[in-house]
Structure 1
Amino acid sequence: MIRCWRLDDSRQTLVLGSQNDHLAEVVYWGPRLSDSENLTTLYQAQVLDVTGGMLDQNPELSICPEATRTFPGQPGMSIRGADGSPLLPKFCFQEAKEEDNALTLTFVDKSLSLTYAASFTIDAFTHVIEAQASVQSEKPVHLHWLSAPVFPGPQFSDEMIDFAGRWCGEFQMNRTPWSAGMRYRENRTGRTGHEHFPGLIVPCRGATNASGHAYAFHYGWSGGHRMAAEELPDGRRQIQFGHATRVEMTAQKSFSTAKLYAMFSDDGINGCAVAFQRHLRDRVVDWPGGEMKRPVHYNCWEAVYFNHNLPELKDIADRAAKLGAERFVLDDGWFGNRDDDTQALSDWEVDPRKYPDGLKPLIDHVQSLGMGFGIWFEPEMINENSNIHRAHPEWALGGEDQILGRQQKALNMALPEVRDFLFERIGAILRDHEIEYIKWDHNRVLPMPDAAQTRGSYALIDRLRAAFPHVEVESCASGGGRIDFGILSRTHRVWLSDSNDALERLRMQHNAAIFLPMAVTGSHVGPRECHTSGRVFDIRYRAWVAAQRHMGFEMDPRELTEDEIQVLTDVTQWWKDNRDWTLRADILRLDSPDPAVIAEQQLAEGGGRFVVFAGKADTSAQIAPRPLRLTRLTPDATYRIELLNRADAPELSRGTPLLKSEALEISGAYLMNHGLTLPWSFPGTMWVIEGTRL
């Protein structure tokens, strides 16, 4: 007997099928099929032939491949009994629950008393499929590995794109050719990680940013993940995502994966990016009060570090407000005896030496300037040189002789008493002060991966959010070490990188936009000399790079010249004037013919206006700029195009392109097929082009 089910939106169809009560498999996933398509015929049509050197029948590439079905690749589950003996389930169909845009399939192995369930939902607006798997047992069992529902990899793909990185160098794209065997990546640091962002793009042959078919995946879990993209001996491909292996330390009766977010795009990588951006912004993030307020930030870290004193901070706040800041964030150094990073983590009480009258005088001053107030915490960490570690050394996660990270250990967030302590200490600060924002940091990897640690951290954030629903939370982990849809379902902003180097930021923001919308991506104007790279960039470049995302400043404003003050004030005002539409715009990566140019187009809802940021990252190989083609415009519409910062053209830009002197009125067809011819520019500069449909 063959059973089949389908989920559809306007762009794609997902068909699953099961024969002889076996686990279901994805029969079809791609462009939208006709409503009249015979699904049983599809199931039968996709069955592979058999030839010499093969089994008499090909095992299903199911949503949880089973070793007992002689499956030749990686199984979707590895589980053991309480005594350590391996369990090899053989699941059979039990029931299917079908609702609008949702499907849940349940299978059982009665002999082992195991139940496996897989759920799928499809979002008609964002085009994102959410898939999740769970396993239940009548007796406690040990879980080694459980994949979220397994999707097939497209056959018309030559490569896959995943993401690596490091501190101050997040979101670096890797391209790996498909070949026999497996691309296996696992992050065992206990957090999402700079090194292994849990995302995968599978472009089909010929796909670019703006055209072609592509498939994309993201695993929404903050505790480390495993990805396996495998090509089987028969040529079929499977894609598995789940928690890192062996992170469930105790036998339990119930386990589940995080959500796997997946989608098919028929307009290149940008189709994947727009789906992720919209889904995260409009479905995943729980905005305080339901409002997506995005004030301009000022963060004092790179101005004062640990050297806090009230008169200096007030002076800095005055200057930040004049530049256009709307929120002042007090970073590390306000608590305990925190004069450096060797001490006081977990002693979450205001330092009376630095703040003899508490934080209120600073908060009152900040608010008198029209700014909200935010504060830094690193709740999951502890210094050995702290009052709390001396009182409760057993609260630290890992052995006494472990290697420290940034002079600190992690707290064991699985312990209820640790979470209760943190809730009371952090809650006291939030109850006693008018605080609207927390920068929540996580500055070291864990001594060992443990899923209970992540669940404990989630529980603490959830409890604080429930108690203080007006407070916005930023996820920071040495920059971009904890960015995923799991943490973003309970936070509202991410700190993409500890690097404020505008060139590095330009590259990272460009790649991170495949997953992250503007509204959650913090980007700050750093100091003239970048503290992490030593490079020096003009204020115009630094300001426009920050204006691509949720804008802020993180430098000592006392270093600014009058010209720099004017430039930064003007760019900040432009950002404020446009944020109502740019925060909901789609970020589209442009296919630049010049590798030195990193360009994006932010297209408003409805397509009536856009802004293009074309950043110069290096010296071009050719003399004159190549035309930059735009995307997703209306071909027969006319657009008014204006170079916003034409006054920034250098003396070596000696020609007379019309864009340098006046606005253009030109068709969408021309802009998408020929493209904009921009003036010549130096490396380390940015052109900003505004477009309006007439």
Structure 2
Amino acid sequence: MPIEWNEEDKVFHLYNQKISYLIQIVHGKYPAHLYWGKRIQTLQPTLILPYKGRPFSPMTEPTDSKFSLDTLAQEYPAFGNGDFRSPAYQLRTKDGSTITEFVYDSHEITQGKPRLEGLPSAYVENNQEADTLVITLVDPILAIGLNLIYTIYHDLDVITRSVSFEHRGSQKVEIHKCMSMSVDFHSSKWDWLQLHGTWARECHIERQPLNHGTQMISSARGASSHQHNPFIALLSKEATEEHGDVYGVSLVYSGNFQASIEVDPFETARLTIGINPFDFIWLLMPGETFQTPEALMVYSPDGLGGMSRMFHKLLRTRVCRGIYRDRTRPILFNNWEATRFNFSEKKLKQLADAAANLGIELFVLDDGWFGHRDNDKTSLGDWDVNRKKLPHGLKGIAEYVQAKGMQFGLWVEPEMVSPDSELYRLHPDWCLHVPGRKRTLSRNQLVLDLSREDVCDWLIDTFTNVFTKAPISYVKWDMNRNMTEVGSAVLPPERQKETAHRYMLGLYRILDTLTKRFPEILFESCSGGGGRFDPGMLYYMPQTWTSDDTDAVERLKIQYGTSLVYPALTMGAHVSDVPNQQTGRNTPLQMRLYVAMAANLGFEMKVDQLTKEEGMEIKKGIQFYKHIQDSVCFGDLFRLLSPFEGMDTAFMYVAPDKSKAVVFYYKVLATPNPPFYRLKLRGLDRQVKYQINNGGQAFYGDELMKIGITMPLVKSDYFSIIFLIQRLEEESLRF
């Protein structure tokens, strides 16, 4: 069992073949962090936890003048008992005090991984895949138990962490802060990396040195947000794509979050992630339990690339679920950029005819099919078919699409309501609001209050009805605004600050019910693109619309940054018309195709107005994509050139058995009289020969990785090329 308990030293050792994580119970009370990194056999605690009295650091234990919580590397620190750094949690008791002291009570080591009640989390398919440690701390005065939950996978270099509070006492307690994990690193000589952005510019990479004080990213928008993805990483100073220590943490949560790193005067670094404590209070009553979301923790000694490949494997195989988890996704057409709201059944049939002729596999009807939805000012909440546009209903257009050999998909935005809707007129209190205050509109809509059980039940019943009215194979679940006036008509005053988290619990209940009720539907999540691209949504919907920005040049940065955590199989990428609707840029069809082929390929353009040449190019592109789709969706990603560092971008996907690979290369702007450039590949078998694009000459993997492929000299902007690398079975080299 890869979790050992050393009774003599009071040390827990979580390990597999590649990583170790060690915790010590110091003075029989305090869980201290010893080590997280490459696998080690054992560790003497005195090697890593020397004690020294520091001026102004309180003496925590009367019998040990050198010991202070202010300088101890801890696993789940509190505030008020001597540690002046930011705590991982804070409770407020009936008398107004926020002082608690949770000390070690017991522990349990079990096979497998427990599910988190009401929350998405990584999972196991059998108990032999992982082992779980639960360290129970107790505050004897409050009679509350605090469970630190750790799971380590046997074949994944991953540790998951979460926390639960169990109220065993008699007085109500408020939880004001409850991070999902906290790690005190014994050094601060790191860089930190995050993914920031906004609508249409998601997941841009930012790396900078740690400084003294607190560095933080967060969302208080009611969603994980376009602005900051719920992911943060620490990197050794020399870390690159291929080399160096990287610690990445991602939160399995789709709501308000906070991730922070605090550097103290003694050059330690405290990393935490969890629910954003801003505007959050949870009332914990006697007999109740509160469970935090789960944090996914990945350590890689092989740079950012190693971290990404581990996150990809974890998310693909042990976070995403359902029948589509291990399947390539259908190549789709979405009518939005071709028609927006202005469509008829006749127009949709024209688009379906053209899409089918191109070899597209899935036809998706976007916004505008319900109520009186001719613009974005009305009808959200009225999920009845607009018979003026679709006289034969959803079933009629779906059956027409099926007759063309395609599947049928549908856009919905269930979490929203338009003030101009029958639903709002019947239930004006069903939206998030504060009595007596204005109701702020965004995109002419309000947010339904999913903290309410009756609203959630109505949504489940309504969309069960929608999804059974037609043969629907795909649903795009959109969410096009963030929360304002976050209050609930059904919660008492002392529970109003629970609203945002209760909303997420309600959403997860809806998604869990509908995805189980309709397992044959491929659900894609969306929030104006990547505004809710997080592991929590992937647990229910195995792919996400990466960005509303379909410009090929901008997509290079968006998809490259997103790939730090999320695999290609989870990313939707569409080819659209030019000039691009977001940037006005004109890029060649080949580049638009090749950028979208690096993820789940789709089309969002006037396919019924293509020239003959454009139609042929798209047909060939679709056929080619089907040839490489397995490698893209299930291969190991190696990022070769970053769009954040120059005009060239390159990355490759290598099949798990290294028998083939596909290399994508893009040059945004041409260079006059350029030098030759050789692109060095990665991830191949160095001992075998490969052909490039079925050429006559073959090269050893060793050559391709150490010397590389010479890139063509071009005299045009927006150049792109794809290289197919295939193994020759009959020849190999033995070093």
TM-score category by the smaller chain?
A: over 0.9
Counterpart amino acid of residue 223 in structure 1: G
Q: What is the root-mean-square deviation in Å for CA atoms of aligned residues?
A: 2.0
**Counterpart-to-counterpart distance in 2, 1:272 and 1:303:** 39
Q: Is the 8 A contact 2:149 2:163 kept in 1?
A: yes
Q: Hey, what does 1:66 align to over in structure 2?
A: 78
Q: Is the 8 A contact 1:82 1:251 kept in 2?
A: no
What secondary structure does 2:429 align onto? helix
Range moving further from structure 2, 55-64 or 539-548: 55-64
Counterpart amino acid of residue 646 in structure 2: P
Q: Hey, what does 1:575 align to over in structure 2?
A: 625
Range moving further from structure 2, 451-460 or 55-64: 55-64
Residues 226-251 of structure 1: CA deviation (Å, up to 9, x unaligned): 11111122111111001111454551
Instruction: Count matched residues.
Output: 671
Q: Hey, what does 1:263 align to over in structure 2?
A: 298
Q: Hey, what does 2:121 align to over in structure 1?
A: none
Q: Give 1:83 deviation, angstroms.
A: 5.7
Q: Hey, what does 1:658 align to over in structure 2?
A: none
Q: Would you say 1:435 and 2:472 are equivalent positions?
A: yes
Q: Would you say 1:498 and 2:548 are equivalent positions?
A: yes
> What pairs up with 1:22-101 in 2 under 5 angstroms?
22-34=29-41, 37=42, 39=43, 41=44, 43-50=45-52, 53=55, 55=57, 56-59=66-69, 60-82=72-94, 84-99=96-111, 101=131
**Counterpart-to-counterpart distance in 2, 1:287 and 1:128:** 22
Q: Would you say 1:418 and 2:455 are equivalent positions?
A: yes
Residues 326-356 of structure 1: CA deviation (Å, up to 9, x unaligned): 1111000000000100000010111121122
- CA 509–122 in structure 1, closer or farther in 2 if over 3 Å, else same: same
Q: Is the 8 A contact 1:134 1:257 kept in 2?
A: yes
Q: Hey, what does 1:679 align to over in structure 2?
A: 712
Q: Give 1:47 deviation, angstroms.
A: 1.4
Q: Hey, what does 1:614 align to over in structure 2?
A: 665
**Counterpart-to-counterpart distance in 1, 2:153 and 2:590:** 40
**Counterpart-to-counterpart distance in 2, 1:607 and 1:267:** 18
Range moving further from structure 2, 551-560 or 188-197: 551-560
Q: Give 1:684 deviation, angstroms.
A: 1.5
**Counterpart-to-counterpart distance in 2, 1:329 and 1:272:** 34
Q: Would you say 1:14 and 2:21 are equivalent positions?
A: yes
Q: Hey, what does 1:565 align to over in structure 2?
A: 615
**Counterpart-to-counterpart distance in 2, 1:677 and 1:153:** 43
Q: Hey, what does 1:178 align to over in structure 2?
A: 210
Range moving further from structure 2, 591-600 or 553-562: 591-600
Q: Is the 8 A contact 2:631 2:653 kept in 1?
A: no
- CA 98–152 in structure 1, closer or farther in 2 if over 3 Å, else same: farther
Q: Is the 8 A contact 2:324 2:522 kept in 1?
A: no
Q: Would you say 1:224 and 2:275 are equivalent positions?
A: no
- CA 600–152 in structure 1, closer or farther in 2 if over 3 Å, else same: farther
Unaligned runs of 5+ residues in structure 1 are 645-661
**Counterpart-to-counterpart distance in 2, 1:260 and 1:167:** 25
Q: Would you say 1:670 and 2:703 are equivalent positions?
A: yes
Q: Would you say 1:198 and 2:230 are equivalent positions?
A: yes
What secondary structure does 2:657 align onto? helix
Q: Give 1:211 deviation, angstroms.
A: 1.9
2:183 to 139, 151, 167: 151
**Counterpart-to-counterpart distance in 1, 2:215 and 2:336:** 40
Q: Hey, what does 1:452 align to over in structure 2?
A: 502
Residues 276-311 of structure 1: CA deviation (Å, up to 9, x unaligned): 111111111112376524110111110111112011
Q: Give 1:629 deviation, angstroms.
A: 1.5
Unaligned runs of 5+ residues in structure 2 are 1-7, 58-65, 112-129, 487-498, 729-735
Q: Is the 8 A contact 1:213 1:268 kept in 2?
A: yes
Counterpart amino acid of residue 291 in structure 2: S
Q: Hey, what does 1:659 align to over in structure 2?
A: none
**Counterpart-to-counterpart distance in 2, 1:552 and 1:81:** 54
**Counterpart-to-counterpart distance in 2, 1:440 and 1:311:** 25
Q: TM-score, normalised by structure 1?
A: 0.93
Q: Hey, what does 2:726 align to over in structure 1?
A: 692
Q: Hey, what does 2:366 align to over in structure 1?
A: 331
Q: Hey, what does 2:493 align to over in structure 1?
A: none
Range moving further from structure 2, 591-600 or 167-176: 591-600
Q: Hey, what does 2:3 align to over in structure 1?
A: none
Q: Would you say 1:600 and 2:635 are equivalent positions?
A: no
Q: Would you say 1:486 and 2:488 are equivalent positions?
A: no
**Counterpart-to-counterpart distance in 1, 2:449 and 2:262:** 35
> What pairs up with 1:273-672 in 2 under 5 angstroms?
273-288=308-323, 292-399=327-434, 401-447=438-484, 448=486, 450-591=500-641, 595-620=646-671, 623-642=674-693, 662-672=695-705
Range moving further from structure 2, 270-279 or 77-86: 77-86
**Counterpart-to-counterpart distance in 2, 1:170 and 1:475:** 15
Q: Give 1:49 deviation, angstroms.
A: 4.9
What secondary structure does 2:10 align onto? strand
Counterpart amino acid of residue 625 in structure 2: W
- CA 58–636 in structure 1, closer or farther in 2 if over 3 Å, else same: farther
Q: Give 1:119 deviation, angstroms.
A: 1.4
Counterpart amino acid of residue 239 in structure 1: L
Q: Would you say 1:207 and 2:244 are equivalent positions?
A: no
Q: Is the 8 A contact 1:247 1:451 kept in 2?
A: no
Residues 485-510 of structure 1: CA deviation (Å, up to 9, x unaligned): 11111112100000110111111111
Q: Is the 8 A contact 1:142 1:248 kept in 2?
A: no
**Counterpart-to-counterpart distance in 2, 1:208 and 1:473:** 35
Residues 656-687 of structure 1: CA deviation (Å, up to 9, x unaligned): xxxxxx55422222222222211023331212
Q: Is the 8 A contact 2:25 2:104 kept in 1?
A: no
Q: Is the 8 A contact 2:73 2:185 kept in 1?
A: no
Counterpart amino acid of residue 602 in structure 1: Y
Q: Is the 8 A contact 1:210 1:590 kept in 2?
A: no
Q: Hey, what does 1:137 align to over in structure 2?
A: 167
